[in-house]
A = this chain, B = another copy of it.
Amino acid sequence: MTETLTDRRARLMGPNVPTFYRNPVHIVRGEGVWLWDKDGKRYLDCYNNVPHVGHCHPAVVKAIADQAAILNTHTRYHHDLVLDYIEALTARLGHDISQCIMTCTGSEANDIALRMAQAVTGKIGIIATDNTYHGNTTATSALSSRRPPIGGYPAHVRLVPAPDSLRSPDPDGSIFAGHIKAAIEDLNASGIGFSGMMLCPAFANEGIPSVAPGFFAKAEAVIREAGGLILCDEVQPGFGRMGSHFWGHEWLGLTPDVVTCGKPMANGHPAAAVLARPDVMAAFRNAFGYFNTFGGNPVSAAACLATLKVIDDEGLQENAAKTSAYVMDRLRALRHPLLAEVRGVGLFFGAEFVLDENNTPATAFVEDLVEVMVAKGFILNRIGRAGNTLKIRPPLPFGIEHADLLVDALTEALATTKVPA
């Protein structure tokens, strides 16, 4: 008897290890926006944001291979590459954000950002939305609502209702700002105090609700009034995905105190960063002797530099803008009895399906739809509180021709996926 890969995973990784799809795909090769499984079946990658400039981009692969053969050590010695990269990256940021700590994962970056807010304010209370994800460390996972932390939610975390453009429209963000104000008051009343709010400016894990630039203005005023910091998690929206802007916070129009980056930064090589103003950095650096062995090593820095250069050289931000508009036009033209809302910004797209006028989530239908699409050779997934929103978030080289393949297939899948009675 041959052990299946699923059984082998369970034996070696333990129970409850997440995979995508009812029949997990077994991918063995990638190139650009394409993936191939072990049987040679080709998939269009409409989902992965880690291979930001395309799977196995030769310029990034070469940068990694070349530097790995020359030197890979840590930042307790001097090296130019990490400084070259920080200089290039901070040049993309305004708001006096000019300093950086390199880490290996977005989780590590957000874990630091939380401590920066604590170091600046001397308080520990933190606010996030109630349908988000900012990382898997003990500290960052306390902000996730999917599953309570071991030992229960800590007293210093307040989760406010995530924006939901379908069920509770809030065009000027005043409802959202009100929730934040109430959470701050509660933190202060409890004696914990308020250090800041962490948010993804695209609300990517919240299901990409339709919010417009300016949505966060009232919330920002409330946070500033209370002396809190704004910690902008750019792990998903950053690096050109928004199309119109390089960063999510630029698009939304808010002023971050701290910006964190992760997944797309080195096209899959484990690299991430925390960027901050010098005063914020100094508060953290003086309170905490932070050092990250692998963070900012020469190979990671080379991979980051190469990824940034490809974004520019290949005009990938512009491509994201162009493709975004095209995909949105085509998605808006879709017709289906359960399709309640099509949303998108840059190369983030959501299509929410509901069962009735009460917007009861059509979770099982979207689950089936995803499986049909995967069978057709399209890698995508679902998101949102009830998992009833189709989530499309392709690598940046995703073009018009790929968009046509995707939406044509989706049109067919919508016509054939069984609608609940």
Spell out A's residues near B (CB within 8 Å).
5-6, 8-9, 11-20, 24-30, 35, 48, 50-51, 55-56, 58, 60-61, 64-65, 68-80, 83, 86-87, 90, 98-101, 103-108, 111, 114-115, 118-119, 124, 136-139, 141, 146-147, 149-151, 262-263, 267-271, 276, 278, 281-282, 284-294, 297, 299-300
Q: Is B71 a contact partner of A289 (Cβ separation < 8 A)?
A: no
Copies per complex? 2
* Contact sample, A vs B, 20 pairs, CB 8 Å cutoff: A12-B98, A12-B99, A15-B282, A18-B289, A19-B75, A20-B76, A27-B77, A30-B70, A30-B71, A50-B72, A50-B293, A55-B72, A56-B70, A60-B68, A68-B269, A137-B139, A146-B289, A147-B287, A268-B299, A270-B294
Q: Is B69 a contact partner of A61 (Cβ separation < 8 A)?
A: yes
Known pairs A56-B71, A103-B105, A150-B284. 20 more at Cβ < 8 A?
A14-B282, A15-B286, A17-B285, A18-B289, A24-B78, A27-B71, A27-B79, A51-B72, A72-B269, A105-B108, A105-B292, A106-B293, A107-B108, A108-B108, A150-B288, A263-B293, A263-B294, A268-B294, A268-B299, A270-B297
Q: Is B150 a contact partner of A138 (Cβ separation < 8 A)?
A: no
- How far does the alpha carbon of A182 sit from the alpha carbon of B357 in the complex, in Å? 63
Most interface-central of A17, A106, A147 (chain B CB within 10 A): A17
Q: Is A147 a contact partner of B268 (Cβ separation < 8 A)?
A: no
